[in-house]
A and B are shown apart, each in its own frame.
Chain A
């Protein structure tokens, strides 16, 4: 009964989104109809929540008559994994996607009074149209509520053991918040094009949402990387795997968008480019969904064998991209405005930043799609591995750091070279010093030295700017604090990447009980293997004693688990986490005479990679609370951004917007 209720709610949510889309995009001026779109948006969320809860309920109560539950759960699993198993497979994760989409729409309605009504109704209409597409995809190709009656299995097939982890509880929801959140700037872009309003006010509206989606995406990717690190027993934190790339591509586009939007808001320029990025960002979200869910990764053939889901997403993607780009081609040019700026200006460096990010995006896209394209064309198979990506991302990352370090010293429009010189020289000296320090430690790698030096330079240049502002005594806007945090996060991240990628020690060894090996000045002793029992698995636990030179010794336990239901074997690494370095032990396979194959890692600064990325995400969240965004009321757009006047009181602003069409911009 409960699963049917869930299905019914989903169908109802779909119908509501259909109505909301039609009314929202009809351009109606009828206030009652406009309000009904808002109500339907709320109703949609309530129904999506009901539907999702029904599925969670089915998992929590072990209702194995539901096929999706039977395939992804087991009665022995602890309750928290049963609940999170709801999004452990394709169908349920897509229902989560729909719930999050509806959640974003609900959040939009909470701030709807800040925007002109006709514009906002269109935004909701576009979001509803997208959500309709998602709900139809779920209903027609990936229904999670299908029953197995009368062939109900006694117990479920179990969730993939890799997913029975804290990571599954937090990573997908956060990642989806980011993926789906990019639909909001997309909807703002399309509504802006439809309404003919793409100006500074529009950019300010869009920024809040873009920052939020970007911050969620950043946090989601970071958690995924951290999860892979401890869960795969491999010690790596980024694999350039197509599934990872699928989330990295929208991130790159969104990062470019966040920066381009700031130029559009502050200077009223880069408009067409910003619109294009907003469309690109969400399109890559959908492309990611296609890559992950269509089976095209497994093989072009397996996609051809079961093309239903893949074709649906592909057609949806084509409609979204084709429709929005057509609109873009027709309308975007109308908003263009020539704003002069120098080479030595913030605008120009933002342009460089965007160029670097877009080239990075092209690299990831190529590296991900080339093997698929090659197989489709020739039938042969190739793989493109880490060296390809590293060859591009090392120089691109360093270039980005250079642009970033100069950025806070630059003014909009133009900067006098003299104003830049003293600061730049002092920063360069600091960077040279950092490089020198590093050369003392490790004279082999110039790349590492420059990464650390540039990272330090970014930190210094931002600190100089921060102190300059603090001395003036002005209160710092939240947006500025957020930006500084994110940029510091970036430098922490690249320093972490450079050090951990080159200074880690790794060894695979054969160890019998009581054998010792040296790992980065620590003595690691293998004490032996004991048996351990989990709720739904049995494990062999390798016990290790680690004795560092100076501080006290500690014990590490690494497990080899065998899950009862699927008879899957899984490795659970033993990790001593530290801000400066991780010590990482994982069990390979048992060898003769009680010996085991054992993998040992010493990874300096590996935590900095995630710490830096989380700082970036934090910066994005902090920036949302800038007063510029919250105290905002409807602004009227005139022919130039300068002529904008603040209209106080929403009702007045709304009627004005409703009655006066936006003048065509010259």
Chain B
């Protein structure tokens, strides 16, 4: 083989190895770091694997929010308004748009008692906002379709998620 071809072969092999390596790593790492979403019905049915970080969501049940008098601990319940209700425990500051009746997301783990221990509560800075995960559910509840509010601005579309 002439040196030019040899060099080209090396480069091609090198690039292929890099591509394969990167793709493999991407799949592996994203598999380890992704959070599955569970709607209330699945949560109630016990589909969340124990000790695994997941996302769940639903509408905050009216009258269910209970703040502790001495700390930032708060308990509330999430529902799909179709019979499935589950309890969430959280400690910390709730987002501005956390209200009873509002659709929100929680990220955390299910404990042995069947209470969702949330590490994060996500809601967005827009009164029309419905977490994407709840959209399918919401559309069944309310016939009018939700139209995405496209925005140029990262912050508007983002809210204080993540």
A residues apposed to B, CB below 8 Å: 87-90, 93-94, 160-163, 167-168, 171-172, 224, 227-228, 231-234, 236, 239-241, 243-244, 247, 292-295, 297-299, 301-303, 305-306, 309, 338, 355, 359, 362-363, 366-367, 370-371, 380-388, 391-392, 508-510, 566-571, 588-589, 591-592, 597-599
Contacts A299-B135, A588-B94; is A363 near B26 (CB within 8 Å)? yes
Minimum CB–CB distance for A222 against chain B, Å = 13
Instruction: Flag if B133 contacts A381 (CB, 8 Å).
Output: yes
Nearest residue, chain A, Cβ from B27: A366
On chain B, the number of residues with a Cβ less than 8 Å from chain A's Cβ atoms is 51
- B30 and A160 form a contact (CB under 8 A): no
Interface flag for B72 (CB, 8 Å): yes
Closest approach, in angstroms, between the C-beta of A299 and any C-beta of chain B? 4
Instruction: Indicate if the CB atoms of A510 and B72 lie closer than 8 Å.
Output: yes
A387 to B127, CA, bound (A): 29
- Give the A-binding residues of B (Cβ under 8 A): 4, 18, 22, 25-26, 29-30, 33-37, 55, 67, 69-72, 91-94, 96-98, 125-127, 132-133, 135-136, 139, 145-162
Q: A172-B153, A298-B135, A381-B37 are in contact. Are A241 and B161 (CB under 8 A)?
A: yes
How many angstroms from the CA of A236 to the CA of B155 in the assembled complex?
12
A438-B91 Cα distance, complex, nearest whole Å: 34
- Given contacts A293-B150, A370-B34, A382-B37, could you give 17 more A-B pairs where the C-beta distance is less than 8 Å? A88-B153, A89-B150, A93-B153, A94-B152, A163-B155, A172-B152, A224-B154, A241-B158, A241-B161, A244-B154, A292-B151, A302-B145, A381-B133, A383-B34, A385-B162, A510-B71, A597-B93
The list of the 3 closest CB pairs from A to B, nearest first, reads A295-B148, A588-B93, A93-B152
A294: chain B residues at CB < 8 Å are 150
**Which residue of B92, B126, B151, B154 is within 8 Å of A508 (Cβ)?**
B92
A273 CB, nearest partner CB in chain B, Å: 11
Partner of A338, one of B4, B71, B93, B125: B4
Q: Write out the residue numbers on chain B whose beta carbons fall within 8 Å of the beta carbon of A88.
A: 152-153
Q: Is the CB of B157 within 8 A of A567?
A: no
- Return B53 CB to nearest CB of chain A, in Å: 9
Q: Check B161 against A384 for contact (C-beta < 8 Å).
A: no
Whether the pair B161, A239 counts as a contact (CB closer than 8 A) is yes
B162 touches A241 (CB 8 A): yes
B35 touches A385 (CB 8 A): yes
Distance from A90 Cβ to chain B, minimum over Cβ atoms (Å): 4
Could you give 20 example pairs across A and B, Cβ below 8 Å?
A89-B150, A162-B155, A172-B152, A228-B158, A232-B159, A292-B151, A292-B157, A297-B157, A306-B148, A362-B22, A381-B133, A382-B36, A384-B35, A385-B35, A387-B33, A509-B72, A510-B72, A571-B96, A589-B98, A597-B92
Q: Check A569/B126 contact, CB under 8 A, given A366-B26, A385-B35, A391-B33.
A: no
